[in-house]
């Protein structure tokens, strides 16, 4: 400290002149004439050059702060990108479903899937529409991609649908190209089978399978899927036809329920005839 | 303390003379700067710090009296006092004041003063710095140095006795 005071005492002349020059400059800067305006302009330019030169020296504290801000920004942007991506997908889905609704020959009720199972023997899903919306048991459920299943239980606000991927599910179907009929069943896995198709009938891989007019539950010509494999086992009269469903059940979020009830007269007649045999 | 009062009285007299009377002896608008001679005298007599402080005080007083460009004369006279103080030698005060060295020091200090003055004064104007320094500045410097001959002679007579 003593040494510091000695040094300061040694250079006191410079200290005095510096202080007085600073005071003079402060007084000068209070003037508002062309000289001072010009000097202010030079000063700003000079400071700009100095700052430009000094900017190449990294400021660790500033960089840390900037880094934190950028990280926060990255998180926010990432979140926004995710939300926009979801919105885009939802938009695409809604456009597709809207298109289906507009083109459909049936009266449809839109529903959101609020629950579903895909890994059981009897897979079902729950939707957020029910009896108050006109939903009844056995009404077909479809999506923009094709057949989903049918309603098996209802409450005022909800309904439970039996998926095509259900052991108890049955649907009359036909090969669209060759008009060959069969029954859709599910034995497990992601694919369904078209049963009761004789070996002599024409089918080939890639054929589209749709619902048949023989069905008393499903309207005709709703897409079910595409034939991916045909197996002919020796000693059997029928082909084993594997179909890849056109609906991606795992990604199913919105469906439509067709407000079509069974033709009770037709069912009654068929039951009566069957009873006589 | 007494000499401070004396300095202040001289200062006010010189400011009045500089602002009101000296213009009567101007040559083509060029006037000598009596305050510079006074600052050099203080510098040679009292040393650098006092000359610097008196330079600032004299300059500020001049700015306040003239009322234009406050701070400019304070700055230039501060620098003048600082430069004048460099020539301070406690053992040679009388010798310096009464010899041609006094005129030379006035010449140097005046040149520094005028150069600094015009560096600021010519900013933002159409007058070039070199033109101002080499015509008005240099002429005023020479005129001031010439006038400093009078106090030098007076000191010479005073200290010879």
Most A CBs within 10 A among B46, B68, B82, hence the mutation to make, goes to: B82
- Percentage of chain A modeled with pLDDT above 90: 35
Residues in chain A: 277
pLDDT in tens, A135-157: 998 999 998 889 999 999 999 99
In 3D, which of A231, A219, A252 has the Cα closest to residue A145?
A252
Contact A39 B123 (CB under 8 A): yes
pLDDT given at position A31: 78
Most B CBs within 10 A among A15, A19, A27, A36, hence the mutation to make, goes to: A27
* Mean pLDDT comparison of A20-34, A107-121, B4-18, B101-115, highest-scoring range: B101-115
pLDDT given at position A103: 66
CA A166, A171, A175 angle in degrees (round to 5)?
A: 120
Range with the lowest mean pLDDT among A84-93, A124-133, B113-122? A84-93
Whether domain A108-261 has CATH 2.30.40.10: the reply is no
What's the rounded Cα separation, in Å, for the pair B32 and B17? 11
pLDDT given at position A8: 77
Class of the CATH domain delimited by B2-160: mainly alpha
Residue A212, φ and ψ in degrees, nearest 5: -100, 160
pLDDT in tens, A239-251: 999 999 999 998 8
pLDDT given at position B70: 86
Domain boundaries, chain B: 2-160
Q: How many CB pairs under 8 A join A and B?
A: 72
A270 vs A27, more confident: A27
Q: What is the distance of C-alpha A121 from the center of its chain?
A: 26
Does position A30 have pLDDT exceeding 90, yes or no? no
A255 vs A62, more confident: A255
Identify the segments of chain B with pLDDT beneath 70: 161
Radius of gyration of the CA atoms of chain A, in A: 39
pLDDT given at position A183: 94
B63 touches chain A (CB under 8 A): yes
pLDDT given at position A81: 85
Contact B53 A29 (CB under 8 A): no
Q: How far is CA A117 from CA A124, A126, A161, A162, A265, in A?
A: 6, 9, 11, 10, 34
Residues A55-65: what's their mean pLDDT?
77
In 3D, which of A195, A190, A224 has the Cα closest to residue A207?
A224
Nearest-10 Cα torsion for A68, A69, A74, A77 = 150
Does position A215 have pLDDT exceeding 90, yes or no? no
Of B60, B75, B123, which has the smallest distance from its Cβ to A35's Cβ? Answer: B123
pLDDT given at position B161: 64
Does position A101 have pLDDT exceeding 70, yes or no? no
What is the value of pTM for the model shown?
0.49
pLDDT in tens, A77-88: 888 888 888 888
Q: How far is CA B135 from CA A35, B50, B98, B142, in A?
A: 20, 31, 29, 11
Buried b (16+ CB within 10 A) or exposed e, B60-70: bbbbeeeeebb
Domain boundaries, chain A: 59-103, 108-261
pLDDT given at position B150: 92
Contact A20 B123 (CB under 8 A): no
A20 touches chain B (CB under 8 A): yes
Most A CBs within 10 A among B49, B63, B75, hence the mutation to make, goes to: B75
Instruction: Name chain B contacts of A12, Cβ cutoff 8 Å.
Output: 49
Q: Taking a C-beta distance cutoff of 8 angstroms, is the pair A97, A257 a contact? A: no
Q: At what angle do helices B72-85 and B34-46 cross, to 10 degrees?
A: 40
Contact B59 A24 (CB under 8 A): yes
Contact B78 A12 (CB under 8 A): no
Of A24, A29, A33, which has the smallest distance from its Cβ to B56's Cβ? Answer: A24
Contact A17 B82 (CB under 8 A): yes
pLDDT in tens, A162-214: 999 999 999 999 998 888 999 999 988 899 999 999 988 989 999 999 999 88
pLDDT given at position B123: 78
Does position A104 have pLDDT exceeding 80, yes or no? no
């Amino acid at each position: 400290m003593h040494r510091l005071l000695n040094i300061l005492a040694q250079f006191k002349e410079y200290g005095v002149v510096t202080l007085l020059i600073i005071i003079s400059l402060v007084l000068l800067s209070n003037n508002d004439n062309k000289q001072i305006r010009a000097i202010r302009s030079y000063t700003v330019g000079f400071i700009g050059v100095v700052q430009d030169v000094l900017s190449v020296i990294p400021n660790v504290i500033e960089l840390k702060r900037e880094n934190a801000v950028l990280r926060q920004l990255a998180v926010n942007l990432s979140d926004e990108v995710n939300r926009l991506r979801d919105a885009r997908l939802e938009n695409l889905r809604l456009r597709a479903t809207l298109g289906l609704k507009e083109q459909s020959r049936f009266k449809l009720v839109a529903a959101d899937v609020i629950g579903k199972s895909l890994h059981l023997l009897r897979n079902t899903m729950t939707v957020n529409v029910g009896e108050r919306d006109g939903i009844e048991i056995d009404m077909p459920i479809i999506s923009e991609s094709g057949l989903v299943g049918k309603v098996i239980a209802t409450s005022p606000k909800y309904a439970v649908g039996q998926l095509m991927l259900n052991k108890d599910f049955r649907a009359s179907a036909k090969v669209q190209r060759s008009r060959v009929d069969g029954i859709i069943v599910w034995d497990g896995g992601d694919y369904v089978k078209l049963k009761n198709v004789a070996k002599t009938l024409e089918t080939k891989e890639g054929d589209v399978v749709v619902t048949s007019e023989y069905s008393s539950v499903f309207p005709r010509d709703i897409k079910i899927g595409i034939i991916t494999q045909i197996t002919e086992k020796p000693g059997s009269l029928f082909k084993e036809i594997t179909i890849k469903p056109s609906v991606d059940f795992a990604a199913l979020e919105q469906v439509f329920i067709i407000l079509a009830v069974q033709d009770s007269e037709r069912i009654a007649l068929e039951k009566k005839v069957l009873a006589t045999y | 303390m007494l000499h401070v009062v004396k300095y202040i009285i001289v200062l006010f007299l010189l400011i009045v003379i500089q602002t009101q009377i000296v213009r009567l002896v101007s040559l083509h608008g060029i006037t000598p700067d009596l305050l510079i001679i006074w600052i050099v005298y203080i510098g040679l007599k009292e040393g650098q710090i006092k000359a610097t402080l008196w330079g600032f005080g004299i300059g500020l007083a001049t700015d306040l009296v003239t009322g234009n460009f406050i701070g400019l004369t304070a700055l230039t006279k501060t620098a003048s006092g600082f430069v004048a103080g460099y020539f301070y030698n406690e053992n040679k005060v009388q010798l310096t004041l009464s010899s041609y060295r006094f005129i030379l020091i006035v010449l140097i200090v005046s040149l520094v003063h005028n150069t600094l003055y015009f560096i600021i004064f010519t900013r933002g104007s159409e007058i070039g710095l070199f033109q101002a320094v080499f015509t008005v500045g240099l002429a005023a410097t020479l005129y001031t140095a010439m006038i400093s001959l009078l106090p030098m002679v007076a000191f010479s007579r005073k200290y010879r006795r």
